[in-house]
Structure formats: structure tokens, C-alpha cells
Amino acid sequence: NAVGLDNVWAQPGAMPDGTHMPPAQQPALDSYFKQMMGLPSTAVPVSDANACHGNEELFQGLCYKSCKELTNGTFPLRTSSWTCCQAGKLEECYVSNQKKNFGLCSGYDVEGDGKSCPRGPGVCAENEEKFLGTCFEKCSILTNGTQPFRTSALTCCHTKLTSFSSLVDCLNPSKVTAGSKINVGGGAGDGDPTTPGSAHQPVTSPQQATGAVPVAN
């Protein structure tokens, strides 16, 4: 029988010292990227709708900026990542009464800030930042403000990735802090067993927080 890659790396001694496997991706985000590539979706329902921000709505396991906000209340019902319907019920939605705005992480396909990809439900601690659906301790804290922008689970750069030139800039070792010390949660080294010291999935309800983890909206 074939052995999964995760199982191989999980064997003692398989991972290099000082490194560990990143947290598993949320099923909803996995489904989203599969949808982008035309693969079968595996979205799962999320029970806690309050896990999204006030200007967001939960749709197929991800938090999107609400269609009501995006269309000034004229097309309030979301029917896909890119469409909003004028009707109040899904069965009353047709091609003629839906508004479309296609784009990848743009148009209607955005989270509450109106410019980022839809996100997995939940929030991170106040000293953390969310990167690709996972909570990490903020690069601004880990680097004392010298490289405040996270570019991967293992790297922080002094420049925000907004263009090809900034990408080239972040390939310069002198302008990047890298290593397993960057791949940590906000509770790393605080001595409190109730706060996550490793990178982790966002907390979606108070019951999921094993300790008094302050959360950021």
C-alpha cells in the first residue's frame, strides 16, 4: 500500500531538527483552491456563523464580504464566490436577477476588507497575523519591526509583496529574516500552556480557545 507523504514525514527522525510540519489547511480553503482549478469541491459546513466579522457572511465554509455590503443592499443573497442575487431565496435566483463580478480575490470574491481572498472562519490572537488561513506570531514582533511583512510560514521581509520588484527585494537575504523561529504562534515562549506556541488554525468560537487567548477582529 502507498504511504501518504504526511505519514512519512510524521515518522520519528524524518524531519530535520528544528523543523516541523505546517498545520493542516482548513478544508474550506482547500475546497476554495480546488474550485479555482476546476477540481471537485470538498467544502464542509461550519456551525459557528459568528466566526466571520460583522461585515462578512459565511458561504460554503469561508468568510466573504457580504453581498449586502458589496451591492449596497440591492443584491443581498450570495449564490457563489462571484455572484449576488436580488431575490431573498436561492430558489428565486435566475441569471436575470443576479449580479456578477468575477475575479480571483477581487470583485465579490473577497473577505471583509474588500481586497483579500475569502478567509477561513475564526480569528487570531492580538499578537498574531493570519497568513494563508493560518495564525502566526506577527513578523513585526518577531523581528522587532525590521522585517514586518510575512511572506511565508518561514520568512519575514522588510517590504510588502505588492509587485515584482518587491518580490525580488524579498529574495535578498539581507532584507529577510528566515527560519523555524518565524514559524510560531503568538504563545511561543510565554510559558502559558493554554496559548498556542505553534502556528495554528484560527479560533472559531470561545469554546475552542483552551485558555484566555485575546482575539483580534
C-beta separation of 97 from 67 below 8 A? no
User: Please, are residues 142 and 149 in contact by the beta-carbon 8 Å criterion?
Assistant: no
Q: Which phi and psi (to 5°) does residue 44 adopt?
A: -125, 145
- In tens, the pLDDT along 28-43 reads 555 555 554 444 444 4
Task: Work out the widest C-alpha separation in the chain, in whole angstroms.
Answer: 59
The answer to whether residue 161 scores a pLDDT higher than 50 is: yes
Q: How high does pLDDT run on average in the chain?
A: 77
pTM given for the model: 0.53
d(CA 114, CA 108): 8
- The secondary structure of residue 106, as a DSSP letter, is S
Q: Is the pLDDT of residue 78 over 90?
A: yes
| Buried b or exposed e, range 24-38, using 16+ CB within 10 angstroms | ebbebbbbbeebeee
| DSSP states of 131-148 | ETTEEEE-HHHHTTTSS-
For residue 123, the model assigns a pLDDT of: 79
How many CB atoms within 10 Å of residue 204?
20
Q: What is the pLDDT of residues 163-210, one digit of tens each?
A: 888 888 899 999 999 999 999 998 877 777 777 888 888 876 544 443
Integer Cα distance of 105 and 98 in angstroms = 19
Residue reference for cell 479560533: 203
Residues 48-63 have pLDDT tens digits of: 545 788 899 999 888 9
Nearest Cα to Cα of residue 64 among 30, 29, 96, 37: 29
Q: Grid cell 449596497 — which residue?
A: 72
Q: According to the per-residue pLDDT averaged within each range, which of 74-88, 132-146, 155-169 is highest?
A: 74-88
Within the chain, how many helices (H) and strands (E) appear? 5, 12
Alpha carbons 54 and 131: distance in angstroms, whole number: 20
Q: How confident is the model at residue 12 (pLDDT cuts 50, 70, 90)?
A: low
> Could you tell me if 57 and 77 are in contact, meaning their C-beta atoms sit under 8 angstroms apart?
no
Other CB atoms within 10 A of residue 215 CB: 15
Give the 3-state secondary structure of residue 188.
coil
Distance (Å, whole) CA 58 – CA 56: 7
